[in-house]
Amino acid sequence: MFITFEGLDFCGKSTQVHLLEKLLISQGAQVKVIREPGGTNISEKIRNVLLDKKNKEMLVETELILFAASRAQLVGEIILPLLEANAYVISDRFHDSSIAYQAFGRGIKLEFVDELQKFVIGKAVPDITFLIDIPIEEVVRRKSLVKQVELDRIERSKIDFYKKVREGYLYLASRENRFSKIDGALSIEEIHNIIIKEISKYSKG
């Protein structure tokens, strides 16, 4: 089963990925957690280029294609073989991030970004995607708690950018049946419980 987590920066998805991983392992399942961009030697190198604060001159076209390249490698090297072996694969971000951030956020044509994602992921379509949705004001508040020097290149973006990214996610949640949108204002435990329920519904159904 392939499960992905999506949401704006600081939405709390990494905490949920970790909790779910612990639970599935305690049930004896084979689980692999990956983070995007990254997850293979080649993809981690691409990640460093993408998130390096010094790369201020990066074009949006370059950004889109580097995310796609990192993902293609991850799909072929890690995700597909694990899914074929019946493991759980949990990804902290996946192709929906490119639609939300690069198409909606950066303004690259949606049809093109969609087509590129199909090419890159092939059969590795997530079974369930959890969108942890938080309002922009909450992103701003949580971001203000982090020291400016610790923010990566994309986290330094302006409010306007995050508004567009959120619109992108809400659009995807209404377009794709595999999406489950969760209110990010709920407690960590409440969100975790919703996730468990959704996964067991899927497994039974």
Q: Are 184 and 7 in contact (CB under 8 A)?
A: yes
One residue of 2, 67, 104, 169 binding ligand TYD per CB under 6 A: 67
Smallest distance, Å, CB 157 to ligand TYD? 8
Smallest distance, Å, CB 37 to ligand TYD? 5
One residue of 61, 152, 160, 167 binding ligand TYD per CB under 6 A: 152
Q: Is 1 in the site for ligand TYD (CB under 6 A)?
A: no
Return the number of the residue (16 or 97) whose C-beta is nearest ligand TYD.
97
One residue of 73, 98, 129, 180 binding ligand TYD per CB under 6 A: 98
Q: Which of residues 33-62 bind ligand TYD (CB under 6 A)?
A: 35-37, 51
Select from 17-25, 72-80, 140-148, 150-158 the region that touches ligand TYD (CB under 6 A): 150-158
Neighbour-count burial of 47, counting CB atoms closer than 10 A to its CB (0-12 exposed, 13-18 middle, 19+ buried): buried
Q: Which contacts qualify for 71-75: CB closer than 8 Å, 24 or more apart?
A: 71/36, 71/37, 71/43, 71/95, 71/98, 71/120, 71/121, 72/120, 73/40, 73/42, 73/43, 73/46, 74/34, 74/36, 74/38, 74/39, 74/40, 74/43, 75/120, 75/121, 75/122, 75/124
**CB count in 10 Å sphere of residue 57:** 6
Select from 17-25, 79-87, 95-103, 120-128 the region that touches ligand TYD (CB under 6 A): 95-103
CA distance 7 to 182: 10
Q: Is 88 in the site for ligand TYD (CB under 6 A)?
A: no
Which residues sit at the interface with ligand TYD, rule CB under 6 A?
Answer: 9, 14, 35-37, 51, 67, 92-93, 97-98, 101-102, 152, 154-155
